Amino acid sequence: MLSRIAWVGAAALTAATLVASGAQAHERPPVQAKVVGTATLPDISLGAFSNSLIRHSVGNDRKVDLGGIGSDIFPAGRPGEFWTITDRGPNGQIKIDGANRRTFPVPGFDPAIVRVKVDGTKLRVLSAIPITTRHGDPVTGLSNQESRDELPYTYDASTRLAVNPNGLDTEGIVRANDGTFWLVDEYGPSLVHISSRGRVLARYVPKGLNLTGTDYPVIEALPAIFLTRKINRGFEGLAQLPGGDLVLALQSPLLNPSKKIGEASLTTRLVRFSPHRGKVTAEYVYRFDPVGVVDPGEDKTTELKISSVIAVGHETLLVQERTDNAARLHRVVLRDRDNVLGTKWDDTATAPSLEALADPVASGVPVLAKKLFLDLNTVAGAPKKIEGVALTSKHTLVVINDNDFGMTDGPAAFDAACNLVDSNIETTLVTIRLP
């Protein structure tokens, strides 16, 4: 299979000419684009899919179909073929006594790496790799720590489930030159190294997380300040640079020093990780556009997220800013002068915090300069809730949505027979032609 290194070295460096060139690229207006292909994942029983990977892992799938594979997408080396990753599985929220409870209708579901192929208007599953512990047990998608994560409940929010320190809420995916995979996770938040057969080789987490009881190595290698991540808003974007370094994107601003400040902030962070050295080598500050710019008509800043980052040059990325209804891609260049790793901005005692600054640049903070590359809101036929983006050639962009396994929130998500009332939102891969 082609790695991201090989891909960038071949087709993507022609894309880099488009995206990462100099002054002329800055002077051009954002590119116009159009949908040239749409492929939809057919209904596949989640129980049948899961049990084909790990026998007897799912007893009752409550009529849920395979979904969630649009959490990210990565070219698999052959035309129309991609690696995708599920998230933690079907989950929702039900309010009980005025408080939301996180439900896991299929608690036996195990996150999986899924290889798919565009076959006309269908998205065909070619193969899948379950994510397992060192001894081959499913990691599951269940919450890790009672003190930091949402407590898991059954489908109707009536009964508590046990937490699982092995559990992963997997998101971004890349495939390395040696055939292993790298994923990011929202719980830790963490960076996870996966063997070609799906076993967790190592999980890199923030310093001070104190995650115990796992059946795989846990390495505290990320800045401790990431312990202030918002629940369900850990790492979601992941890119692999041509030299092999990884760039991880925090989905939303840290709740630093408080939930109120974090939820009002437009400032999030990217980190650069060296697999060769096993450590973080840089950290960058990224500023969202106001939510009404990203999604006209939306006024809640908390709806802003980064779900995908794509390497398009040696130090150049496309960064996706989105809500559930809108998405835009920006070009950024990673420069040494913008590295804030180990500075006062990594110290929770710093006041005001980075997230509290209304204008970080005016306060002397090096913020990544960005340039709008593509407003996906202007592309007729693009899906909602885009979480995976890949640039496959100079003129071809691929996006995929997360359909949340057809789940909705609230007690009406399940019928009287305790089976899912499907949202009828399908997993859709859309091919976009860039001029």
Is pLDDT of 401 > 80?
yes
Q: Predicted confidence band at 426 (pLDDT cuts at 50, 70, 90)?
A: very high
pLDDT of residue 32: 84
Residue 199 CB partners (closer than 8 Å, separation 6+): 131, 132, 133, 134, 136, 216
Q: How does residue 11 score in pLDDT terms, banded at 50, 70 and 90?
A: very low
Work out the end-to-end distance of the chain between its first and last CA atoms, rounded to an integer number of angstroms: 28
pLDDT, mean of residues 388-407 = 96
- In whole angstroms, what is the distance from residue 259 CA to residue 255 CA? 5
Given a cut of 60, whether residue 368 has pLDDT beyond it is yes
- Per-residue pLDDT tens digits for 277-316: 999 999 999 999 999 999 999 999 999 999 999 999 999 9
**268: CB partners within 8 A, 6+ apart:** 249, 250, 251, 252, 253, 254, 286, 287, 288, 306
Q: Phi first, then psi: what are they for 230, rounded to 5°? A: -75, 145
Query: What predicted TM-score, i.e. pTM, was given to this entire model?
Result: 0.92
pLDDT tens digits, one per residue of 94-136: 999 999 999 999 999 999 999 999 999 999 999 999 999 999 9
pLDDT confidence of residue 435:
82
Task: State how far the Cα of 174 lies from the Cα of 283, in Å rounded to an integer.
Answer: 20
Give the domains, in start order, of the chain with CATH numbers: 4-433 (2.120.10)
Mean pLDDT of the 228-253 span: 97
